[in-house]
Amino acid sequence: MNDTKKTFNRGDAVEREGTYVCVPCGFKKHFAPGETFSECTSCMAGSNTGHEDYVEGLELWEPAKDEEPTNTK
């Protein structure tokens, strides 16, 4: 059974290295363990300078489909 979390909020700690996709806009960014998921530098979801149609709570990241982090347990 794969218990890997599928979406991550801005501010969550990165546990597995890999490429992640911004849910609102599709921008891909590489994150490594020890980092935190940030606002998207493409659409700025989760920041004051983000798009005016931004919906609070959608500053989510998910693993890129071609690079889903593997469960190492």
Tens-place pLDDT, residues 20-49: 999 888 899 999 999 999 988 888 765 666
* Sequence-separated (6 or more) residues with CB below 8 Å from residue 25: 40, 42, 43, 45
CA dist 65 and 57 (Å) reads 22
Q: pLDDT digits over 3-26, tens only?
A: 466 899 989 999 999 999 998 888
The amino acid that residue 34 corresponds to is G
Whole-model pTM above 0.85? Answer: no
Residue 31 backbone zone (phi > 0: left; psi -120 to 50: alpha; other: beta)? beta
